[in-house]
Structure 1
Amino acid sequence: MTREEFIKNTDELLRLVRTEYELTQESMALCLGISKKTLVGIEKGRGSLGWTGAVALCSLFSQSSILQNTFGGDMQDILSALAFERVQPKYPKTMGGRVWWEEVQQGIGWHIQQNYISRHYRLLTDDDRHVCSSFDLEKVKLAAAEYERVNAK
């Protein structure tokens, strides 16, 4: 999934999320920091939240079952995968991915998982610390090889 696909999906889900939370267009616009006119345009397919608005929607409404079922669980994880596509931060420990994740590959001290819904990958250490995320499996495999090389004892 690219940022553009993600933005398109969030644009299409905006009205459903607003309805799920029982918000008026005016209330939702206030939450997202946009005008009601802009929100109406997005809901009618004549505008877009853009990257910042899509991130705001998914962050503020991260408990939305509509968003979770569309993107595969934890909204923060997919936002991180897209936001840090070209940057490598230090991630905190995860819960290990018991619901939304399939084990893809294991190595010495690490394992790669793929999200069932969004199909993005993540590299975790054996104690479930997040090392990187990407939609490119080869990029995650390279990070795994580097992690194994650096942490070999």
Structure 2
Amino acid sequence: MNKNDFIQTVSKHMKSIRIEQQFSQEEMAEMLGISKKTLIQIEKERTVANWGTVVTLCALFNDSDILLNEIGDDPVEFVKLLAKEVAYEPKSKTLGGRVWWKVVTTDGDYVMQQNVISSHYRILDSKDVRWYSSFDADDAMHVLARLARNQ
């Protein structure tokens, strides 16, 4: 899934997310910093949200079951991945990937998993803390080897 696909997916589900979170169109539009008219156009799938609106929605509603089911990962972490924010440091505690993740390989105390929905990769330590995310399998393998070497 690339940035454009993600924008399309979030836009398509914006009405469902609004209803799931129990907000009116007026309340949702105000929270997202867009007009009600723009929100209606997005909800009717006549237009798509812009990147800023998608990022705001993910930040505000990162606990949305709809978002989680559509991307199979924490929405904020996924936005960071799409924005190409890459860091080799602990990021967040995860649930260990029991639903949307398959194990690709392990090295020492680290495991590399692939998301079954978006196909991106992540590296977790033995405590299920995320250290790295990428769409590039080779890059993730190099990071996995480096992390395992430095344990």
Query: Same fold per TM (> 0.5)?
Result: yes
Contact 2:86 2:133 in 1 (8 A): no
Distance 2:129 2:65 in 1: 26
Q: Do the aligned partners of residues 20 and 92 (structure 1) sit closer, same or farther apart at CA in structure 2, a change above 3 Å counting?
A: closer
Secondary structure of the 2:13 match is helix
Q: Which moved more, 1:55-64 or 1:24-33?
A: 55-64
Contact 1:80 1:133 in 2 (8 A): no
Distance 2:16 2:129 in 1: 33
Contact 1:111 1:124 in 2 (8 A): yes
Residue 53 of structure 1, CA deviation: 1.0
Distance 2:38 2:13 in 1: 15
- Normalising to structure 1: TM-score of the pair? 0.84
Contact 2:110 2:144 in 1 (8 A): yes
Distance 2:88 2:142 in 1: 16
Offset from partner CA, 1:10-48 (integer Å, 9 cap, x none): 111111111223322111101111111221222233333
Aligned ranges for residues 50-61 of structure 1 at < 5 Å? 50-61=50-61
2:120 maps to amino acid: H
Number of paired residues?
A: 150
1:23 maps to amino acid: F
Identity rate, percent:
41
Distance 2:148 2:88 in 1: 18
Give ranges in structure 2 of 5+ residues lacking alignment.
none
Moved over 4 A (4+): none
2:123 maps to amino acid: L
- Normalising to structure 2: TM-score of the pair? 0.85
Q: Output the aligned Cα RMSD.
A: 2.1
Give ranges in structure 1 of 5+ residues lacking alignment.
none
